[in-house]
Every structure is written in structure tokens, then in C-alpha cells.
Amino acid sequence: MTNDTSTMISRRGLLGAFAATALIATPTYSNAFGFLRGAGDIRRIKMYSGRTGESIDTIYWVDGDYISEALTEVNHFMRDWRTGTSTNIDARTVDIMAASHNLMNISEPYMLLSGYRSPKTNAMLRSKSSGVAKNSLHMRGQAADLRLKSRSIAQMTKAASACASGGVGTYSRSNFVHMDCGPVRSWRG
């Protein structure tokens, strides 16, 4: 009887390990969420904007559910500061930003350089720089350009890339990292 029980436990352990490995190997947003799970049953985002002078420090997810009021705050905060227009920011992008922040083990808020961009703003930026995509994920509310004083661009890139949940652009000369919830990829600008 003891032998059968240890065999069952061993099989359960093996099946559990296989399931965990399959989940980790899957290139989905579960990677970013896994990093967030270690933080408990809440997800929090902290940012400030040098453009508007505004700050946000909000818990946007509790016990498996997004808090719509908090996401509405995030939508307003990440608006196109040039036009005042906003859109629904994809919560997956906020999750990637929060997971990256947690990986760096810091309390400093991100400096948001660019969140949502209206088509008008994107066209204007594109006319001034070849580094601005015509169909930028910023226009869909799926991207953010961020900076930290206490971490290097290389450290931010490493944390965002570890999430393996979207695009990570490293802009060393401009001193920021782009994070988005598009396909997993990386580039230097």
C-alpha cells in the first residue's frame, strides 16, 4: 500500500511538473502574469508624467479581477498629452509594465514619455523621426515609452524582455525603453 501511494504521488508530481513546464514554455502573457503572481493578489502601477506634471499610483487588479475605475484612471493618465485625447489602454501592456517594475525590485515610479498617441500626433512624430512606426501600437493603446532614474536602459530592457510577453525597444540615445503587448520581439532604436 505504501508503495502504491508513493507511486501515485510520484505520478502526480511528474504530471504537475509537466503541466508547469508546458505553461512556462508557452509564449503568452502568462509569462508576465507569472512574475506578477509572486507579488500577491494585487497588481499596482506607479508612473508620473513630466509633460503634464501628473502622477498615478494605483492598484488596478485584485484577486483575479481588473478594477475598471483604476483602468479608467490609467487611460486618462496615459492620454495623448498633445491633443488631450485618450483611449482604452490595453491591460496587457499595463501588466507587462508592472511585471517589469516588480522584477527590478524598485519603488520609484516610471516616467511616462509616451502612452496613447492620436493618429495626428503619430503622423507629426513620424514626419520628424524615422523611428516612429506608421501603424504604431501607441495608436491602439498597446504601448508605452518609459524611463527610470534609478535603473539603466539595459536593466529596464532586461526586465521587460524577461517577461517574454510583447515588444521591447531599447532607445539608448533617447534614454527610454518601449514596452508593448504586441508580438514578442526586440529592437534597438
| Domains, the chain, ordered by start | 27-188 (3.30.1380)
Is the distance from CB of 92 to CB of 73 less than 8 angstroms? no
Q: Degrees (nearest 5) of the Cα angle 120, 47, 99?
A: 105
**Cα R_g (the chain), whole angstroms:** 19
Q: Is the pLDDT of residue 20 over 70?
A: no
Q: What's the CA gap between 56 and 124, in Å, rounded?
A: 27
Q: What is the pLDDT of residue 36?
A: 53
Q: What residues contact 148, with CB distance under 8 A and at least 6 apart?
A: 104, 106, 108, 110, 111, 156
The sign of the dihedral angle between the CA atoms of 8, 12, 17, 22 is: positive
Q: Is the pLDDT of residue 93 over 80?
A: yes
Strand 110-114, strand 42-48: pairing: parallel
- C-alpha grid cell for residue 92? 496587457
Question: DSSP strand E in the chain: where?
Answer: 42-48, 55-62, 65-66, 110-114, 143-147, 167-171, 176-180, 185-188
Q: What is the pLDDT of residue 113?
A: 96
- What's the pLDDT band for 10 if we cut at 50, 70, 90? very low
Q: What is the pLDDT of residue 33?
A: 54
Q: Is the pLDDT of residue 21 over 60?
A: no
Q: What is the pLDDT of residue 130?
A: 76
Q: Is the pLDDT of residue 8 over 80?
A: no
Condensed to tens digits (0 to 9), the pLDDT of residues 123-134 reads: 999 899 877 888
Mean pLDDT over all residues of the chain? 84
* 177 burial via Cβ count (<10 Å: 0-12, 13-18, 19+): buried
Condensed to tens digits (0 to 9), the pLDDT of residues 22-68 reads: 333 333 445 555 555 544 589 999 999 989 999 999 999 998 899 99
Better-scored residue on pLDDT, 169 or 35:
169
- What's the pLDDT band for 162 if we cut at 50, 70, 90? very high
Q: What's the CA gap between 23 and 55, in Å, rounded?
A: 36
Question: DSSP strand E in 68-183: where?
Answer: 110-114, 143-147, 167-171, 176-180
Q: Is the pLDDT of residue 18 over 90?
A: no
Q: What's the CA gap between 125 and 93, in Å, rounded?
A: 22
**Does the predicted model carry a pTM greater than 0.75?**
yes
Nearest CA to 80 out of 47, 113, 45, 53 is that of 113
